[in-house]
Chain A
Amino acid sequence: MTADQSSARETFKKIAGNIARVMHGQSAATRKLLTALASGGHVLLEDFPGTGKTTLAKALARSVDASFKRIQFTPDLLPSDILGVSIFDQRDQQFHFHGGPVFTNILLADEINRASPRTQSALLEAMGESQVSVDGERRNLAELFFVIATENPVEFRGTYPLPEAQMDRFAMQFSLGYVPAAEEVSILAAQQHRHPLDDLKPCVSLSDVLALKRAVEDVRISDELKRYAVDIAGATRTAAGVRLGASARASIALMKSAQALALFDGFDFVAPEQIQELAVAVIAHRLVMEPQARFSGMTSAAMVGEILKKLPVPA
């Protein structure tokens, strides 16, 4: 491991340790979140209310000494509320651009499925190309731009499911799930007097995170494992019950996040385990299932899991 990679791994550990002080029993989710952060992808957290989605996002934002904005998505939210708006200044008779919350390092898009598709789409360009076009003018976003979106799977009324194109732009989707009872007790104990989130201090700087992203790019991956990632994505395209399979963007995201996870685990090259671990989070949300398969209880996550079992893993 090179010095850069070692220090990058230190950064990983520091953030993970910091988050663990708030999020009890969620180390697997933390791993995935940090993996996405380091590989330059965006994350969609889908879980029931009260499982700690927002807390996890806030904990990450507090741990990194970077700017953090939060948008609460509501049905009446407009694209200009996200991107910003030019306002006429009476004094100097000119328009001035007032950047929206998208001009930040870490953006929490809370309950993203509550806003109209038009507003959701405003995030598309920002997430895909790390730039926004307002009033016909292109504005670049910060070098570190990480979107954590959350959504609630149980509600249907007053929500707008995310368009497939938007889903494809999230590198990963995962859920937190309920923690075991013992962990939950410790959460209660921690919050008896005050929320531990308030005491959280930044432990790494913005430049540390950027160095981490660069170090991830240097993690080696063999052709065989690239082929494995491609094969997994390819298998979803031909699998029965899947209407829309995973794109090449999916296999790219899988490779990049596997590189980040390898670094997290202290390797300077990618092993098949990392690909397997991330495959469901990276691929499942991109699939569109046939209605019959859906009604027979097949989910896309289960479909990817099955593919992982069937496909011979390089050993």
Chain B
Amino acid sequence: MGATLLFWGWQTGSTAFFIAGAVMGAILESSRLFKTRWEFSDDEFGRVWTFCNVLFVAAVIFAFNDNGGPSGLSELFENFSAASEHTASNAGAMTVDAVIRWLPMIFFLFILAQTFSPADGVPLEAVFLYLRSRLKRARKRGQAVPPTRRFDASYPFFALCLFSAAGHTVEGNSFYFGLAALVSWALWPVRSRRYSLPIWIGALVVAIVAGFFGQRLFGQLSRLAEEYDPQLLSYLMRSSADPKKSWTDIGDVSRLKLSGRIVVRVQPQDGAPPPVYLREASYRELAESAVNINKRIYKQLVWDTGNTNNEFPPMTETPPESGIFPLHPESDNRSLVTIGCYLNGINRDDKYAYGVLPLPADCNRLENSRAYFVYQNNLGTVLAEGPRLMIFDACYGSGMIRDDLPNADESISNEDLEVPTNEIPAIKTVISRLDVTGKSDEEKIFAVTRFFADNFIYSLTQENLPVADTNDTALSRFLLKSHKGHCEYFATATVLLLRQLGIPARYAVGFFVHEPSGNGYVVRQRDAHAWCLVWNKKKRTWENLDTTPPSWVATEREEASPLEFLSDFQSWVEFEVLRFFDYSHNNIRQYIFWPLIPALAFLLYRIFRGSRRHKNQAKPAEPFPWPGLDSEFYRLEQELARHGLPRQPGEPLSAWLQRATTHPELSKLKERMEKILRLHYRYRFDPQGLSDLERRELRDDVKTCLALDE
């Protein structure tokens, strides 16, 4: 036991804990040296247990306090935001962490009581309230007291120490081997004598080695799984659309996994058709990036906003507190759509959730928005900070776009016409096949569209082909060899082809709205889409150009799980709950915790009342408080004793009454008094006691008897 505590102190890491572990271990082990023992009654064990529990609660409260819990929590109540939620949950995690670390100290007193008591083990009644109350009930009713079962608390405490130590391990394998040594030590006294010692030790070693390699294998398996599916990791790494960069899945990713989670809900007003494309962001510059996942390099193409578009100036709310954010000076709107989406990012500097808003391309105003801040860059990407669930009305349909124009100035390099050098050979090969020299922009665009429609199919999988030469890029493989890919391939290739043909183009990501649900539309994670924006010189506007084969929607729907309705339901519940909390006008959130207070107060009251009762019981109460000592019969007895008929201490009442009623004056009362005595005896000695009616009868009979006696 002492070694376990020492081990706990060592593994928990700090010097203070090590000293505490050493001291507690020494105290426990000193029981072998000192033969002094204290008699603990079962009730006292119960009280020690209660004390340990109160200590535990106190430790939880203290740890919570210490880790900035209350401020975080109160902030959570008063000003519900993602950041305060984050702080609160962080405080919660730290509290749990600290309390787990303290566990052995908290329950040390209990184990100490067991160690220094002569009894072998702790009564179960001390620990289980139900058993305790059963015992009390049985005692009260005078039934046979159920036999007390005892258990050795040192093994649970041993497990507790190891659990606590596991929370904070020193790096390396020392924890595992220390654990193995301690467990074998603990198992030593209870080993089966049927097998000889070498067999026992052999089995133990096999178990330890198997456990060690099993644990190693588990770690390797999870690593293997990560290697097999880097998409999994990249998906985890990129929680929401990045306004500045878009990591495509073009590159060494063999298979796309798309979830059917509902991420956006769209509700067009006045039954208008919804905007087909909800754009989150658009990008100008393509680069290749290498990602290092578990010592393997994965190459991926990255779209980037380019050098000049990293600024996100804040939009002013006009008028203030109105929830209206103009995004574009033009205010001619034809349509209104209500969009609900989640802000998944948490800005560490700021306190709120933030994220990119999916908007129709020509949206120029946000209304009824609860966003705290809205930012927009000159590519028309809108960032919002606010509650986790954003619901707003987007006004659109003016035809006026928010993106800035392609560079007119020829002297500086036009990012909208840039093609990465290593992609140029493949692009040129394709263009040579298109036969578009000298044709107009419209014809060129049409040729590119036809090229993709005629030769390409949509696919979520890519074969991992060996790299042939330096110009063999993922994109060139798509364009020249495989002729299949997902939307990012199509959009990227289209952008590069158009740029090479001299038409400014940009890469856009967002959602494709097509799935009706109720009187609105839902957009799932798998409806995320990429397409390109083409500059229309005549109209001086950016137009959407989607070269992905339309079969992509059907292909991705095939991937859907048949149990999708379940996740849809969950998503709906989540949406409604968030909407209730964030968008109901009363501050119900603040009051939801009020009912908890009486519940807590009641619990405290129970504890204190219980402990008071324990105190009463603990007193060596002599004489015992027997039931029925308030019987009125004693008044009768006193009365007769006053008349010279005292009862001897060893004389039972019936014998005394027999003697008393031989007295001529009392003989007339004989029958009545015998009846009273019967009732009194039942009141005193029958564990079932008297009914209320009989109790009253006893009272009244004694009264009339006394009156007659007078």
Taking CB atoms, residues of chain A closer than 8 Å to B652 are 271-273, 276, 313, 315
Taking CB atoms, residues of chain A closer than 8 Å to B562 are none
**Is B686 touching A313 in the complex (CB atoms < 8 A)?**
no
In the complex formed, the residue of B with least CB distance to A277 is B652
Q: How far is the CA of A313 from the CA of B650 in the complex (A)?
A: 5
**Is B649 touching A311 in the complex (CB atoms < 8 A)?**
yes
Q: Does B601 contact A (CB under 8 A)?
A: no
Which listed residue (A220, A222, A268, A309) contacts B684, Cβ 8 A? A222
**Is A273 touching B624 in the complex (CB atoms < 8 A)?**
no
Closest Cβ–Cβ distance, residue B617 to chain A (whole Å): 14
**Is A220 touching B142 in the complex (CB atoms < 8 A)?**
yes
Q: Does A308 contact B (CB under 8 A)?
A: yes
**Is A315 touching B647 in the complex (CB atoms < 8 A)?**
yes
**Is A224 touching B650 in the complex (CB atoms < 8 A)?**
no
Taking CB atoms, residues of chain A closer than 8 Å to B142 are 220-223
Q: Does A243 contact B (CB under 8 A)?
A: no
Q: Does A269 contact B (CB under 8 A)?
A: yes
Contacting residues of chain B (618-674) with chain A, CB-CB under 8 angstroms: 624, 626-627, 637, 647-655
**Is A222 touching B650 in the complex (CB atoms < 8 A)?**
no
Taking CB atoms, residues of chain A closer than 8 Å to B653 are 272, 315
Q: How far is the CA of A221 from the CA of B687 in the complex (A)?
A: 7
Majority secondary structure of chain B interface residues (helix, strand, loop or mixed): loop
Closest Cβ–Cβ distance, residue B178 to chain A (whole Å): 49
**Is B651 touching A222 in the complex (CB atoms < 8 A)?**
no
Produce 1/0 per residue, A301-315, CB < 8 A to B.
000000011111111
Closest Cβ–Cβ distance, residue A28 to chain B (whole Å): 15
**Is B649 touching A272 in the complex (CB atoms < 8 A)?**
no
Q: How far is the CA of A270 from the CA of B688 in the complex (A)?
A: 12
**Is B687 touching A222 in the complex (CB atoms < 8 A)?**
yes
Which listed residue (A271, A276, A309, A311) contacts B685, Cβ 8 A? A271
Q: Does A200 contact B (CB under 8 A)?
A: no
Q: Does B682 contact A (CB under 8 A)?
A: yes
Q: Does A225 contact B (CB under 8 A)?
A: yes
Q: How far is the CA of A310 from the CA of B648 in the complex (A)?
A: 9
Q: How far is the CA of A220 from the CA of B689 in the complex (A)?
A: 11
Of the listed residues B624, B654, B685, the one surrounded by the most CB atoms of chain A closer than 10 A to its CB is B685
Q: Does A227 contact B (CB under 8 A)?
A: yes
Interface size on B, residues (CB 8 A): 22
**Is B650 touching A314 in the complex (CB atoms < 8 A)?**
no
Q: How far is the CA of A17 from the CA of B58 in the complex (A)?
A: 71
Q: How far is the CA of A269 from the CA of B685 in the complex (A)?
A: 7
Q: How far is the CA of A89 from the CA of B129 in the complex (A)?
A: 64
Taking CB atoms, residues of chain B closer than 8 Å to A310 are 649-650
Which listed residue (B627, B649, B651, B686) contacts A220, Cβ 8 A? B686
Taking CB atoms, residues of chain A closer than 8 Å to B637 are 315
Contacting residues of chain A (186-242) with chain B, CB-CB under 8 angstroms: 220-225, 227
Q: Does B681 contact A (CB under 8 A)?
A: yes
Produce 1/0 per residue, B106-139, CB < 8 A to A.
0000000000000000000000000000000001
**Is A309 touching B648 in the complex (CB atoms < 8 A)?**
yes
**Is B685 touching A272 in the complex (CB atoms < 8 A)?**
yes
Closest Cβ–Cβ distance, residue A279 to chain B (whole Å): 11
Closest Cβ–Cβ distance, residue B71 to chain A (whole Å): 55
Taking CB atoms, residues of chain A closer than 8 Å to B648 are 309
Interface size on A, residues (CB 8 A): 22
Contacting residues of chain B (658-710) with chain A, CB-CB under 8 angstroms: 681-682, 684-688
In the complex formed, the residue of A with least CB distance to B143 is A220
Taking CB atoms, residues of chain B closer than 8 Å to A309 are 648-650
Produce 1/0 per residue, A284-315, CB < 8 A to B.
00000000000000000000000011111111
**Is B654 touching A273 in the complex (CB atoms < 8 A)?**
yes
Taking CB atoms, residues of chain A closer than 8 Å to B650 are 308-313
A314-B684 contact given A220-B142, A309-B648, CB 8 Å threshold? yes
Closest Cβ–Cβ distance, residue B659 to chain A (whole Å): 14
**Is A314 touching B685 in the complex (CB atoms < 8 A)?**
yes
In the complex formed, the residue of B with least CB distance to A311 is B650
Taking CB atoms, residues of chain A closer than 8 Å to B684 are 222, 224, 314-315
Taking CB atoms, residues of chain A closer than 8 Å to B685 are 221-222, 224-225, 269-272, 314
In the complex formed, the residue of B with least CB distance to A262 is B685
Taking CB atoms, residues of chain B closer than 8 Å to A269 are 681-682, 685-688
**Is A224 touching B626 in the complex (CB atoms < 8 A)?**
yes
Taking CB atoms, residues of chain B closer than 8 Å to A270 are 685
Closest Cβ–Cβ distance, residue B689 to chain A (whole Å): 10
Closest Cβ–Cβ distance, residue B676 to chain A (whole Å): 13
Q: How far is the CA of A270 from the CA of B652 in the complex (A)?
A: 13
Taking CB atoms, residues of chain B closer than 8 Å to A223 are 139, 142, 624, 626, 687
Q: How far is the CA of A147 from the CA of B647 in the complex (A)?
A: 39
**Is A222 touching B649 in the complex (CB atoms < 8 A)?**
no
Closest Cβ–Cβ distance, residue A200 to chain B (whole Å): 33
Q: How far is the CA of A312 from the CA of B650 in the complex (A)?
A: 5
Taking CB atoms, residues of chain B closer than 8 Å to A312 are 649-650
In the complex formed, the residue of B with least CB distance to A270 is B685
**Is A220 touching B681 in the complex (CB atoms < 8 A)?**
no
Q: How far is the CA of A254 from the CA of B681 in the complex (A)?
A: 19
A227-B624 contact given A220-B687, A269-B682, A269-B686, CB 8 Å threshold? yes
Q: How far is the CA of A270 from the CA of B686 in the complex (A)?
A: 7
Q: How far is the CA of A221 from the CA of B682 in the complex (A)?
A: 11
Closest Cβ–Cβ distance, residue A201 to chain B (whole Å): 36
**Is B686 touching A222 in the complex (CB atoms < 8 A)?**
yes
Q: How far is the CA of A75 from the CA of B649 in the complex (A)?
A: 48
In the complex formed, the residue of A with least CB distance to B637 is A315
Closest Cβ–Cβ distance, residue A233 to chain B (whole Å): 15
Given A224-B684, A271-B685, A313-B651, 17 more A-B residue pairs with CB atoms under 8 Å apart are A220-B687, A221-B142, A221-B685, A221-B687, A222-B627, A222-B687, A223-B142, A223-B687, A224-B624, A268-B686, A269-B685, A271-B652, A273-B652, A273-B654, A276-B652, A314-B685, A315-B652
Which 9 A-B pairs give the minimum distances between C-beta atoms? A269-B686, A309-B650, A312-B649, A224-B626, A273-B652, A315-B653, A222-B685, A220-B687, A272-B652
Q: List 10 A-B contacts (CB under 8 A).
A: A221-B687, A224-B624, A227-B624, A269-B682, A269-B688, A270-B685, A311-B649, A313-B649, A313-B651, A314-B626
